[in-house]
Amino acid sequence: MSFDEHQACVQQQELESALALARRDGISIMGAGGFARALRVACQGQGIKVHAFIVSSRTQVDNEIDGLTIHVWDTFPSDLLHYPIWIGIFNNHINAELTGLRKQCLALGFRDVRTPQEFFSWVAPAMGWRYWLAPLEGYRSQWPLIEQARGLLVDDESRVAYDAIVSFRLGIVLDDPITLCAEQQYFPESLRRWMPASGCSYLDGGAYDGDTLRMAQSALSPAQIYAFEPDPGNYQRLCAFTAGQASSVIQFPLGLSDTPAFLRFRSGQSDASSLDSEGDCTIQVAALDDLFRHTRIDFIKLDIEGSEIPALQGACKLIAEAFPPFLAIAGYHRWDDLWRIPLLINDLSKNYKVVLKVHKSNSFDAVFYAYYQDHQ
C-alpha cells in the first residue's frame, strides 16, 4: 500500500471539524467500562462535555457513574442523537469489534460516530498507554518504515493482513472488520512444517498461568520448557500447573529485556500485567543471551505486554546461532511494533522469513512468526 497524502489531508480536515463539533455540543460515550471512564475524564480536560454513557445492557453497570447517567441502547433519550457519540470500548473481544460497534451506533440514529483510533489524538496525553492506539500523525510520519516492514512479509496473506491493520488503525477503512486467522495462536497449523520437531526446547516469555504451555505441549511435544512469568500471582498459578508435568519445565519469576535490571511493574492485571513506572511492585528482568549462553533454544514465544523489542534485543546471540529458533512474537502492544518487530527480526538474522497473522478483533493478538529458511 502507498501513502495517500490527499486522503490524509481530507481525513485531517474532517477530524478537526469533528473535534470542533464535540467541543461545541458535547458528546455521548458508548460503553461504561474502564476505557470509557478514562475517556470521560480526558474529555473534561479538553473542555468537551459528556452528556451520558450508553451501554447495551443494564445488567452491566449501575444507573450512573460519578453523577453521569448511564442509558441503555434501546431506551436512551432521543435528544442524545443530536450529539456525536464516541466509542469508549477498546479490547479484543469479538463483541467489541469496532467496525461492528460503529455500525450499531449508526443504526441507532447517531450521525457522527467516532472510533478510538479517530479521537485518540485529542485525548492521548490524558489516556496514557493504550496498546496500539496512537495519534494518527505518528503512523503517517513513519510511513517509509511501515512500507519497508511490509516488504519483509513473505506471503500475500500476511501482506493483506498488514494492509488491513494499517488501514484500520488509521481510520481509513471502518466499514469491514479485519479478517481473523482461524488457526491456533502461536502454533498455526500452516506453519507447523517450519516448527522444531518433537523433543525440542521451547521458551515461553509471558507464560501467564500455563495456558500457552498447554498448547506448546500439544503442538510441539517439547522435551524441555523454559517459562518466564514476572507477575507474582500468575507465577504461583504457573507453578501449580507445571507441578508433575511429564516434560521438564523450569519456571523463572523474571521479566525479559535487553539487560538485567529491577523495574517497576503493575501486577494483578491477569494476562495484562506489565512494566509501569508507577506500578505496585518491583520485578527483575533479564536478557536471554545471559541466561542461555550455552543452551540451544528451538522455539521462542514472546507475549510480554510491550517488552517484546527489548527482549528480542536481549536474545540477539541466541537468534544468530547456527540453528536460529522459530519465533512467535506478539506485535500489537505498542503502536510501532507493527513495523519495528519485523525490521528488528530482519536485522538480527537476514535468513528469517516473516509471516503475520491476526488472531483477535481490532488488530489485537497480531503475531509475527519467523522461521529460518533452511529449516524445512
Q: How many residues does the chain have?
A: 376
What's the average model confidence in pLDDT over 27-49?
95
- Predicted pLDDT of residue 30: 96
| Residue range 133-175, pLDDT digits in tens | 999 988 888 999 999 999 999 999 999 999 999 999 999 999 9
| Residue 236 or 62, more confident | 236
Element housing 368 (H / E): strand 366-372
pLDDT band at 376 (very low <50, low <70, confident <90, very high): very low
Look up residue 274 and give its three cell numbers.
506489565
**158 or 275: which carries more pLDDT confidence?**
158
Q: Which of 73, 102, 72, 69 is nearest to 88 (CA)?
A: 102
Please state, in angstroms and as integers, the Cα–Cα distance from residue 341 to each residue in 322, 328, 331, 337, following that order. Answer: 21, 11, 7, 5
What's the pLDDT tens digit per position in 312-363?
A: 999 999 998 767 999 999 999 999 999 999 999 999 998 999 999 999 999 9
Q: Find where cell 491477569 sits.
A: 270
Supply the DSSP symbol for 153: B
Angle (CA) 39 42 45, round 5° = 155
pLDDT digits (tens, 9 = 90+) for 198-207: 999 999 999 9
DSSP one-letter code for 245:
-
Domains of the chain: 5-128 (3.40.50.20), 145-372 (3.40.50.150)
Q: Judge contact between 256 and 307, C-beta under 8 A.
A: yes
Please enumerate in sequence order all residues whose Cβ is within 8 A of that of 317, keeping only pairs 6 or more positions apart, or say none: 289, 293
pLDDT(13) > 70: yes
pLDDT score for 59: 62
Return the pLDDT at 60. Answer: 55
Q: How far apart are CA 122 and CA 136, in angstroms?
A: 10
pLDDT the model gives residue 3: 64
Gap between the Cα atoms of 160 and 49, Å rounded: 39
When the pLDDT of each residue in the chain is averaged and rounded to a whole number, the result is 93
